[in-house]
Amino acid sequence: MTLLTTDLIEDVDASIKHRFVYTPDPGQRDKWRSSAKKMRKDEDFQLQDDCDGLAQTCLHELHLRGVPKTDLYRAVVISPNGHVPDHMIGLVSINGELWSVGDTFGKPAKVQGRRVNGHKIFQTARLSEGTRFRTWMKKLTLAAYPSRLTNSVNMELRTSAAGVHAIKQDEQFVPRAYDDAQPWK
């Protein structure tokens, strides 16, 4: 087991980005592959991939250095000035705090609420959960894909006062059990 620190995260992030060449995936055939083992075998290997390849490689390298998969997360985010999920980063849990890793737009940073490096976190999944994300690389709308965070990441989600008011306006009290599809029966 490795002692997980921000120094380790910064070291992994910098060492992989040093060998990273951003290559867009025009066919959107993302496979979320890690190149960490290739990088360890070949010191001249250059990682030519897009954001998910960088994030996956950083997370896998942290795991190869002894960090448990249960402390590593993939995160689909909405980029700064964006409106739909369009980018992937890695997240690492250190003593209950989340830190970013493998972000093509910035250095590792502490997650504040649901934001990091200007990104809004849309969806997360533990690395140990495999790739159980919805297909996010196609053009999405927030209406079609409501924001969801895994229960294993505490992001301090709260319903605003305006949200509570809207729910109260839309819902009504019915003093009996009923079928949601046919509440009038």
Query: What is the distance between the alpha carbons of residues 100 and 13, in angstroms, rounded to a whole number?
Result: 9
CA proximity to 78, closest of 116, 21, 33: 116
pLDDT digits (tens, 9 = 90+) for 85-115: 888 899 999 888 999 999 988 999 999 988 9
Going 164 to 167 to 168 to 169, the CA torsion angle's sign is positive
The contacts of residue 20 (CB under 8 Å, 6+ apart) are 46, 47, 49, 54, 104
Query: What is the distance between the alpha carbons of residues 43 and 25, in angstroms, rounded to a whole number?
Result: 24
What's the CA angle centered on 110, arms 105 and 113, to 5 degrees? 100
Residue with tokens 């509570």: 164
Beta strands in the chain, from DSSP E residues, in sequence order = 20-22, 47-49, 72-78, 87-94, 97-101, 115-116, 119-126
Output the pLDDT for position 169: 65
Output the pLDDT for position 83: 81
Q: Is the pLDDT reported for residue 32 higher than 60?
A: yes
Please give the structure tokens belonging to residue 81: 């000035």
Output the pLDDT for position 148: 46
Contact (Cβ atoms closer than 8 angstroms) between residue 88 and residue 116: no
Output the pLDDT for position 90: 94
pLDDT digits (tens, 9 = 90+) for 121-154: 888 888 877 655 544 444 343 434 444 444 444 4
Distances (CA, A) of 8 to 52, 108, 174: 20, 10, 55
